[in-house]
C-alpha cells in the first residue's frame, strides 16, 4: 500500500514537472523564437488541441463515434465571421453567438443520435457535417462566400505574439476543464457507457442524459476552437467544414491515445506542427501523414499515451501496481 502510494506520488510529480516544463517553454517561445511563421503554426496547434480534446469527450470517452466533428468547429467559425462582418455584431457577441450555434447544433445532432448506435451514429454525424459542407461550398454561397470565404473578421488582439498568448491561455483552460470532467465521476460514467450501454443502464445510469451531456460538451468546445480560429485567421472558408478537418480529429486522437483527453491534445499539437512545418514537402505530406497513422494503428493502437505502459510491459517489470 505504502509503496503504491509513494510511486503514484512520484508519477504525479513527474507529470506535474512535465506540465511545468511545457508551460515555461510555451511562455518563453515568443521571446526566444520571434518568427511569425513559427508562432502561426503554434497558434494553429493550440486551436487544434482544443478541437481534438473536444472530439475525445464524445467519441473517446463516451464511445459515440463522431465522424463529422468539423461541423461544430465550422458552424461556429462561420457564425462568428458572418455575424461580425455582415451584421456588424461586436466581436465578443459574435463569439458568444458562434459558440451558442455549436451548442444548438450539438442538440440538433445529439438528440436524434441518442437512439442510434455504432455505424448508424457514425453515418448520421458524417451526414450532418456533409450537409454543412454542401451548404457552405455550394447551396449557400451567397452567405458563405464559397471558396472566397467570409473576409474581414475583426480580431481581439492584433499580431502574432498577443494571439499566441491568448490561444495558449484558451487552450490550457479548455483542456483543463475537459480533463477535469473526464477524470471526475461524470467521466467514469461516460466510460461505462462506452464499455456497455445496456450494462450502464442496468447500473442505474440515465444513459440518455449523459450521452447528451457528452454531445454538448464536445460541440461547445469544438465551437470554442472554431470561434477562436475565425477571429485569428480573420477569414473563414470551406476549409473549416471539410472531411479532412473531421478526419483530423480522429488522427490527432489516434496518435495521441483515444479516450485520454491529454493524448488527443498532444497528438494535435505534434501533428499540426509536423504538418505545417513540413509544408515544403507539398502533397507528399499527406502520404507521410497517412503512413504514420497506419504505423500507429499497427504498432501502437493506444497512441502515445500507451507508450509508457508498453515500454514497461516489454521490460517485463510489473511496475507500480504494488499495493
Quick one: 13 or 208, whose CB is closer to another protein? Answer: 208
Nearer to another protein, 198 or 314 (CB): 198
Q: What Å distances lie between residue 297 and 57, 96, 172, 275, CA to CA?
A: 20, 38, 28, 19
Contact (CB, 8 A) for 155 and 97? no
For another protein, the closer CB: 219 or 257: 257
Considering the complex, what minimum distance in angstroms separates the CB of residue 242 from another protein?
Answer: 33
Sign of the Cα torsion 18, 24, 25, 26 reads: positive
Closest residue by Cα to residue 228 from 50, 38, 70, 83:
50
- Please report how close the Cβ of residue 14 comes to another protein at its closest, in angstroms: 22
Q: How far is the CB of 201 from another protein (least distance, A)?
A: 4
Q: Name the minimum Å distance from CB 104 to another protein.
A: 26
Smallest gap from residue 207 Cβ to another protein (A): 7
Find out whether 263 and 256 touch, Cβ atoms under 8 Å.
yes
Tell the smallest beta-carbon distance from residue 37 to another protein (Å). Answer: 42
CB of 303 to another protein, least distance (A): 15
Nearer of residues 146 and 302 to another protein, judged by Cβ: 302
Q: Residue 8 or residue 35: which is nearer to another protein going by CB? A: 8
Output 171 or 181, the one with its CB closest to another protein: 181
Residue closer to another protein (CB basis): 6 or 21 = 6
Q: Compare residues 145 and 263 and give the one whose CB is closer to another protein.
A: 263
Are 212 and 62 contacting, i.e. CB atoms less than 8 angstroms apart? no
Give which of 84, 141, 132 is closest to 108, Cα–Cα: 132
Phi, psi dihedral angles at 151 (to 5 degrees): -105, 165
Chain residues that interact with another protein, rule: CB under 8 A: 185, 188-189, 191-192, 195-196, 198-208, 321, 323
Q: What angle is formed at CA 294 by the lines to CA 50 and CA 226, rounded to 5 degrees?
A: 20
CB of 198 to another protein, least distance (A): 6
Amino acid at each position: 500500500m505504502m509503496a503504491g502510494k509513494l510511486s503514484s506520488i512520484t508519477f504525479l510529480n513527474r507529470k506535474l514537472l512535465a506540465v511545468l516544463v511545457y508551460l515555461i517553454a510555451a511562455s518563453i517561445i515568443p521571446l526566444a523564437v520571434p518568427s511569425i511563421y513559427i508562432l502561426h503554426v503554434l497558434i494553429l496547434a493550440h486551436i487544434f488541441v482544443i478541437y481534438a480534446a473536444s472530439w475525445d469527450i464524445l467519441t473517446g470517452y463516451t464511445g459515440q463515434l463522431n465522424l463529422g466533428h468539423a461541423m461544430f468547429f465550422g458552424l461556429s467559425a462561420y457564425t462568428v465571421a458572418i455575424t461580425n462582418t455582415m451584421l456588424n455584431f461586436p466581436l465578443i457577441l459574435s463569439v458568444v453567438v458562434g459558440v451558442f450555434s455549436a451548442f444548438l447544433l450539438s442538440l440538433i445532432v445529439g438528440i436524434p443520435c441518442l437512439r442510434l448506435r455504432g455505424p448508424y451514429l457514425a453515418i448520421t454525424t458524417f451526414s450532418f457535417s456533409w450537409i454543412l459542407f454542401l451548404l457552405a461550398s455550394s447551396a449557400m454561397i451567397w452567405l458563405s462566400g464559397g471558396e472566397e470565404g467570409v473576409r474581414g473578421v475583426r480580431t481581439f488582439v492584433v499580431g502574432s505574439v498577443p494571439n499566441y498568448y491568448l490561444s495558449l491561455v484558451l487552450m490550457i483552460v479548455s483542456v483543463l476543464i475537459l480533463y477535469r470532467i473526464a477524470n471526475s465521476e461524470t467521466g467514469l460514467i461516460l466510460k461505462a457507457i462506452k464499455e456497455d450501454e445496456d450494462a450502464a443502464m442496468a447500473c442505474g445510469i440515465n444513459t440518455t442524459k449523459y450521452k447528451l451531456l457528452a454531445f454538448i460538451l464536445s460541440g461547445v468546445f469544438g465551437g470554442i476552437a472554431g470561434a477562436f480560429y475565425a477571429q485569428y485567421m480573420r477569414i473563414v472558408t470551406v476549409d473549416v467544414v471539410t472531411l479532412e478537418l473531421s478526419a483530423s480529429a480522429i488522427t490527432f486522437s489516434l496518435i495521441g491515445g483515444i479516450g485520454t483527453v491529454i493524448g488527443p491534445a498532444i497528438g494535435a499539437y505534434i501533428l499540426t506542427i509536423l504538418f505545417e512545418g513540413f509544408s515544403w514537402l507539398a502533397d507528399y505530406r499527406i502520404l507521410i501523414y497517412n503512413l504514420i497513422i497506419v504505423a500507429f494503428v499497427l504498432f501502437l493502437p493506444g497512441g502515445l499515451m500507451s507508450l509508457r505502459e508498453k515500454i514497461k510491459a516489454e521490460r517485463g517489470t510489473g511496475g507500480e501496481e504494488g499495493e
